[in-house]
Protein backbone atom coordinates (compact mmCIF):
# COMPACT_ATOMS: atom_id res chain seq x y z
CA UNK A 1 0.00 0.00 0.00
CA UNK A 2 3.01 2.28 0.40
CA UNK A 3 3.28 3.33 -3.27
CA UNK A 4 -0.47 3.54 -3.73
CA UNK A 5 -0.84 5.59 -0.53
CA UNK A 6 1.78 8.12 -1.56
CA UNK A 7 0.45 8.53 -5.10
CA UNK A 8 -3.11 8.96 -3.84
CA UNK A 9 -1.80 11.52 -1.34
CA UNK A 10 -0.21 13.56 -4.11
CA UNK A 11 -3.42 13.39 -6.16
CA UNK A 12 -5.43 14.59 -3.14
CA UNK A 13 -3.69 17.91 -3.79
CA UNK A 14 -5.07 18.07 -7.33
CA UNK A 15 -4.87 16.45 -10.77
CA UNK A 16 -1.35 15.86 -12.05
CA UNK A 17 0.58 14.30 -14.88
CA UNK A 18 2.99 11.46 -14.18
CA UNK A 19 5.83 13.93 -14.67
CA UNK A 20 4.36 16.31 -12.06
CA UNK A 21 3.95 13.42 -9.61
CA UNK A 22 7.60 12.42 -10.15
CA UNK A 23 8.65 16.03 -9.56
CA UNK A 24 6.65 16.21 -6.31
CA UNK A 25 8.10 12.87 -5.26
CA UNK A 26 11.67 14.02 -5.89
CA UNK A 27 11.14 17.04 -3.63
CA UNK A 28 9.42 15.19 -0.84
CA UNK A 29 10.03 11.47 -0.47
CA UNK A 30 13.01 10.54 -2.61
CA UNK A 31 15.34 10.80 0.40
CA UNK A 32 13.20 8.62 2.65
CA UNK A 33 11.30 6.19 0.49
CA UNK A 34 11.96 3.05 -1.46
CA UNK A 35 9.49 4.29 -4.09
CA UNK A 36 11.29 4.57 -7.40
CA UNK A 37 10.40 6.46 -10.55
CA UNK A 38 10.05 3.13 -12.30
CA UNK A 39 7.27 2.05 -9.93
CA UNK A 40 5.13 5.17 -10.39
CA UNK A 41 3.63 4.45 -13.82
CA UNK A 42 2.79 0.77 -13.18
CA UNK A 43 1.15 1.80 -9.90
CA UNK A 44 -0.88 4.52 -11.65
CA UNK A 45 -2.04 2.01 -14.24
CA UNK A 46 -3.13 -0.46 -11.55
CA UNK A 47 -4.86 2.26 -9.52
CA UNK A 48 -6.78 3.30 -12.65
CA UNK A 49 -7.92 -0.32 -13.13
CA UNK A 50 -9.02 -0.41 -9.48
CA UNK A 51 -11.11 2.75 -9.98
CA UNK A 52 -9.04 4.81 -7.52
CA UNK A 53 -8.00 7.33 -10.16
CA UNK A 54 -8.98 8.39 -13.67
CA UNK A 55 -6.68 9.29 -16.53
CA UNK A 56 -7.51 11.85 -19.21
CA UNK A 57 -5.36 12.51 -22.26
CA UNK A 58 -4.95 16.20 -22.99
CA UNK A 59 -4.11 16.73 -26.66
CA UNK A 60 -1.19 19.07 -27.07
CA UNK A 61 -1.17 21.78 -29.73
CA UNK A 62 2.31 21.24 -31.12
CA UNK A 63 3.42 19.71 -27.83
CA UNK A 64 3.27 16.09 -26.65
CA UNK A 65 -0.05 14.83 -25.32
CA UNK A 66 -0.33 14.79 -21.54
CA UNK A 67 -1.88 12.06 -19.39
CA UNK A 68 -3.54 13.77 -16.44
CA UNK A 69 -4.44 11.68 -13.40
CA UNK A 70 -7.26 12.60 -11.02
CA UNK A 71 -8.28 10.88 -7.80
CA UNK A 72 -11.82 9.47 -7.66
CA UNK A 73 -14.21 9.40 -4.69
CA UNK A 74 -13.16 5.75 -4.14
CA UNK A 75 -9.53 6.82 -4.24
CA UNK A 76 -10.15 9.57 -1.68
CA UNK A 77 -11.94 7.10 0.58
CA UNK A 78 -9.11 4.54 0.28
CA UNK A 79 -6.48 7.22 0.96
CA UNK A 80 -8.26 8.56 4.06
CA UNK A 81 -8.83 5.04 5.42
CA UNK A 82 -5.10 4.36 5.01
CA UNK A 83 -4.19 7.66 6.63
CA UNK A 84 -6.41 6.94 9.64
CA UNK A 85 -5.39 3.26 10.02
CA UNK A 86 -3.19 2.19 12.94
CA UNK A 87 0.47 2.68 12.23
CA UNK A 88 2.79 -0.30 12.33
CA UNK A 89 6.45 0.47 12.64
CA UNK A 90 8.44 -0.92 9.74
CA UNK A 91 11.78 -2.48 10.49
CA UNK A 92 14.52 -0.36 9.00
CA UNK A 93 16.77 -1.99 6.44
CA UNK A 94 20.31 -0.76 6.26
CA UNK A 95 22.98 -2.38 4.14
CA UNK A 96 25.74 -0.80 6.23
CA UNK A 97 24.54 -2.46 9.44
CA UNK A 98 24.38 -5.82 7.67
CA UNK A 99 28.01 -5.36 6.60
CA UNK A 100 29.11 -4.01 9.97
CA UNK A 101 27.85 -7.19 11.63
CA UNK A 102 30.41 -9.18 9.61
CA UNK A 103 33.35 -6.73 9.81
CA UNK A 104 35.43 -9.33 11.70
CA UNK A 105 36.16 -10.86 8.28
CA UNK A 106 37.91 -7.69 7.07
CA UNK A 107 41.24 -6.21 8.02
CA UNK A 108 41.17 -3.09 10.23
CA UNK A 109 42.14 -1.00 7.19
CA UNK A 110 39.30 -2.44 5.12
CA UNK A 111 36.80 -1.90 7.94
CA UNK A 112 37.79 1.72 8.24
CA UNK A 113 37.69 2.26 4.49
CA UNK A 114 34.19 0.79 4.12
CA UNK A 115 32.85 2.75 7.11
CA UNK A 116 34.36 6.04 5.90
CA UNK A 117 32.94 5.45 2.42
CA UNK A 118 29.49 4.88 3.86
CA UNK A 119 29.78 7.97 6.06
CA UNK A 120 30.66 10.12 3.05
CA UNK A 121 27.72 8.77 1.04
CA UNK A 122 25.31 9.56 3.90
CA UNK A 123 26.79 13.05 4.27
CA UNK A 124 26.35 13.58 0.53
CA UNK A 125 22.70 12.54 0.76
CA UNK A 126 22.21 14.92 3.68
CA UNK A 127 23.78 17.79 1.66
CA UNK A 128 21.38 17.05 -1.21
CA UNK A 129 18.44 17.07 1.21
CA UNK A 130 19.48 20.38 2.76
CA UNK A 131 19.96 21.93 -0.70
CA UNK A 132 16.26 21.53 -1.53
CA UNK A 133 15.05 23.18 1.68
CA UNK A 134 14.22 26.53 -0.01
CA UNK A 135 12.03 24.75 -2.58
CA UNK A 136 10.33 22.65 0.09
CA UNK A 137 9.82 25.63 2.40
CA UNK A 138 8.19 27.57 -0.42
CA UNK A 139 5.74 24.79 -1.37
CA UNK A 140 5.17 22.65 1.70
CA UNK A 141 2.37 22.98 4.20
CA UNK A 142 3.13 22.79 7.94
CA UNK A 143 2.98 18.98 8.07
CA UNK A 144 5.02 18.45 4.92
CA UNK A 145 7.69 20.73 6.35
CA UNK A 146 7.63 18.77 9.64
CA UNK A 147 8.25 15.64 7.56
CA UNK A 148 11.21 17.34 5.89
CA UNK A 149 12.66 18.44 9.26
CA UNK A 150 12.27 14.89 10.59
CA UNK A 151 14.28 13.65 7.60
CA UNK A 152 17.05 16.18 8.21
CA UNK A 153 17.20 15.15 11.88
CA UNK A 154 17.23 11.47 10.91
CA UNK A 155 20.32 11.98 8.74
CA UNK A 156 22.03 14.07 11.43
CA UNK A 157 21.48 11.28 13.97
CA UNK A 158 22.58 8.62 11.49
CA UNK A 159 25.74 10.56 10.65
CA UNK A 160 26.50 10.93 14.36
CA UNK A 161 26.16 7.15 14.86
CA UNK A 162 28.33 6.24 11.85
CA UNK A 163 30.91 8.86 12.91
CA UNK A 164 31.17 7.11 16.29
CA UNK A 165 31.69 3.77 14.52
CA UNK A 166 34.41 5.33 12.34
CA UNK A 167 36.08 6.67 15.51
CA UNK A 168 36.03 3.21 17.08
CA UNK A 169 37.50 1.71 13.91
CA UNK A 170 40.22 4.37 13.78
CA UNK A 171 41.21 3.50 17.36
CA UNK A 172 41.19 -0.19 16.47
CA UNK A 173 43.42 0.42 13.47
CA UNK A 174 45.83 2.55 15.52
CA UNK A 175 46.00 -0.12 18.20
CA UNK A 176 46.53 -2.77 15.53
CA UNK A 177 49.48 -0.87 14.07
CA UNK A 178 51.00 -0.66 17.55
CA UNK A 179 50.85 -4.47 17.88
CA UNK A 180 53.34 -6.76 16.26
CA UNK A 181 52.31 -8.53 13.01
CA UNK A 182 52.22 -11.88 14.83
CA UNK A 183 49.89 -10.56 17.56
CA UNK A 184 47.65 -8.95 14.93
CA UNK A 185 47.33 -12.22 13.01
CA UNK A 186 46.41 -14.06 16.22
CA UNK A 187 43.80 -11.38 16.99
CA UNK A 188 42.20 -11.81 13.55
CA UNK A 189 42.11 -15.57 14.01
CA UNK A 190 40.40 -15.14 17.38
CA UNK A 191 37.86 -12.70 15.90
CA UNK A 192 36.98 -15.16 13.16
CA UNK A 193 36.45 -18.06 15.57
CA UNK A 194 34.20 -16.06 17.91
CB 126 within 8 A of CB 152: yes
Whether residue 71 sits in one domain with residue 160: no
For the stretch 50-79, pLDDT in tens is: 999 999 999 888 888 899 999 999 999 999
Position 110 scores a pLDDT of: 92
CB 43 within 8 A of CB 3: yes
Residue at 188 is within a domain: yes
Of 23, 52, 84, the residue that ends a domain is 84
For the stretch 76-126, pLDDT in tens is: 999 999 999 887 777 666 788 888 999 999 988 899 999 999 999 989 988
Residue at 171 is within a domain: yes
Whether residue 118 sits in one domain with residue 151: yes
Position 62 scores a pLDDT of: 83
Whether residue 110 sits in one domain with residue 38: no
- Characterize 22-60 residue by residue with b for buried, 16 or more Cβ atoms within 10 angstroms of its Cβ, and e for exposed: bebbebbbbbeeebeeeebeebbeebbeeebbeeeeeee
For the stretch 20-33, pLDDT in tens is: 888 877 766 655 65
pLDDT-derived band of residue 165, with 50, 70 and 90 as boundaries? very high
Residue at 90 is within a domain: no
Of 84, 103, 129, the residue that ends a domain is 84
Residue at 128 is within a domain: yes
Measured from the Cβ of residue 122, the count of other Cβ atoms closer than 10 Å reads 17
**Max CA-CA distance within the chain?**
77
* Chain mean pLDDT for the chain: 84
Position 21 scores a pLDDT of: 87
Whether residue 188 sits in one domain with residue 102: yes
User: What range defines the domain where residue 49 resides?
Assistant: 2-84
- Characterize 135-151 residue by residue with b for buried, 16 or more Cβ atoms within 10 angstroms of its Cβ, and e for exposed: ebeeebeeeeeeebeeb
Q: Rounded CA gap, 56 and 39, in Å?
A: 20
**DSSP assignment string, 57-102:** EEPPSSS--EEEEEE-HHHHHHHHHHHHSPP-PPPP--HHHHHHHT
Whether residue 76 sits in one domain with residue 11: yes
Whether residue 158 sits in one domain with residue 99: yes
Residue at 40 is within a domain: yes
pLDDT at 168 over 90: yes
Position 24 scores a pLDDT of: 79
What separation, in Å, do the N-terminal and C-terminal C-alpha atoms of the chain show? 42
Position 27 scores a pLDDT of: 66
Whether residue 189 sits in one domain with residue 99: yes
Whether residue 110 sits in one domain with residue 152: yes
Whether residue 121 sits in one domain with residue 42: no
CB 100 within 8 A of CB 165: yes
Q: Rounded CA gap, 128 and 75, in Å?
A: 33
Average pLDDT, integer, range 152-181: 85
Of 33, 50, 84, the residue that ends a domain is 84
In the chain, % of residues over pLDDT 90: 41
Residue at 89 is within a domain: no
pLDDT at 47 over 90: yes
Whether residue 68 sits in one domain with residue 37: yes
Whether residue 76 sits in one domain with residue 103: no
The total of structural domains in the chain comes to: 2
Whether residue 146 sits in one domain with residue 70: no
Position 156 scores a pLDDT of: 93
Task: List Cβ neighbours of 31 (8 Å cut-off, separation of 6 or more).
Answer: 125, 128, 129, 151, 155
Three-state DSSP state, 55: strand
pLDDT-derived band of residue 138, with 50, 70 and 90 as boundaries? confident
CATH code: domain of residue 79: 1.10.10.10
pLDDT at 171 over 80: yes
pLDDT at 145 over 80: yes
Residue at 36 is within a domain: yes
Average pLDDT, integer, range 34-52: 85
Amino acid sequence: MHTKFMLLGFLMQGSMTGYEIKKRFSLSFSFFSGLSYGSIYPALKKMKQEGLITMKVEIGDGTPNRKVYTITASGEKAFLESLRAPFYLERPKDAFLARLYFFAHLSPEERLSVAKGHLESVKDLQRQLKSVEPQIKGRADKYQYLCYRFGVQFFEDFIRSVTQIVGDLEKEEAEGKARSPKTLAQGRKRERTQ
